[in-house]
Structure 1
Amino acid sequence: MTDPVLALDDLRLTLAGGAGPVEVLRGISMQVGRGQSVGLVGPSGSGKSSLLMLMGGLERPTGGRISVLGRDLAAMDEDALARFRRDNMGIVFQSFHLIPTLTALENVALPLELAGAGDAMARARAELDAVGLGARTHHYPAEMSGGEQQRVALARAMAPRPAILLADEPTGNLDAANGAAIMDLIFALRDRHGATLVLVTHAPELAARCDRVVRMADGQLAPEEAPAEAATGADQ
Structure 2
Amino acid sequence: MDPIIATEDAHLTLDGNAGRVEILRGISLQVARGETLALIGPSGSGKSSLLMLLGGLEMASAGTISVLGRDLTAMNEDELARFRRDHMGVVFQSFHLIPTMTALENVAIPLELAGVPDAFARAQAELESVGLGARLDHYPAQMSGGEQQRVALARASAPRPEILLADEPTGNLDGTTGEAIMELLMGLRDRHGATLVMVTHSPELAARCDRVIRLRDGQLETEVPA
Q: 2:5, 2:66 within 8 Å by CA — same for their partners in 1?
A: yes
Task: Give the structure 1 partner of residue 179 of structure 2.
Answer: 180
- The one-character-per-residue Cα deviations of 1:186-220 (angstroms, maximum 9, x if unpaired) are 00000000000000000000000000000000000
Task: Give the structure 2 partner of residue 101 of structure 1.
Answer: 100
Letter of the aligned partner of 2:188 in structure 1? L
Q: Where in structure 2 are the equivalents of 1:1-16 lying within 5 Å?
A: 2-16=1-15
Task: Give the structure 2 partner of residue 89 of structure 1.
Answer: 88
Task: Give the structure 2 partner of residue 233 of structure 1.
Answer: none
Whether 1:142 aligns to 2:137 is no
Whether 1:131 aligns to 2:130 is yes
Identity score, percent: 73
SS at 2:179's partner residue? Answer: helix
SS at 1:24's partner residue? Answer: strand
Task: Give the structure 2 partner of residue 196 of structure 1.
Answer: 195
Task: Give the structure 1 partner of residue 54 of structure 2.
Answer: 55
| Partner Cα separation in structure 1 for residue 214 and residue 40 of structure 2 | 5
- The one-character-per-residue Cα deviations of 1:88-146 (angstroms, maximum 9, x if unpaired) are 00000000111111110010000000111101011101100110001111111111111
| 1:74 Cα deviation from its structure 2 partner | 1.1
Letter of the aligned partner of 1:39 in structure 2? A
Q: 2:215, 2:222 within 8 Å by CA — same for their partners in 1?
A: no
- The one-character-per-residue Cα deviations of 1:146-197 (angstroms, maximum 9, x if unpaired) are 1000000000000000000000001111011110000000000000000000
| 1:43 Cα deviation from its structure 2 partner | 0.0
Task: Give the structure 2 partner of residue 209 of structure 1.
Answer: 208
After TM superposition, the runs of 4+ consecutive aligned structure 1 residues lying more than 4 A away are none
| 1:36 Cα deviation from its structure 2 partner | 0.1
Which runs of 5 or more residues in structure 1 are unaligned?
A: 228-236
SS at 1:16's partner residue? Answer: strand
Letter of the aligned partner of 1:190 in structure 2? R
| 1:223 Cα deviation from its structure 2 partner | 2.2
Q: Where in structure 2 are the equivalents of 1:29-40 lying within 5 Å?
A: 29-40=28-39
Which runs of 5 or more residues in structure 2 are unaligned?
A: none
| 1:17 Cα deviation from its structure 2 partner | 2.2
TM-score, normalization by structure 2: 0.99
Whether 1:18 aligns to 2:28 is no
Aligned length: 226
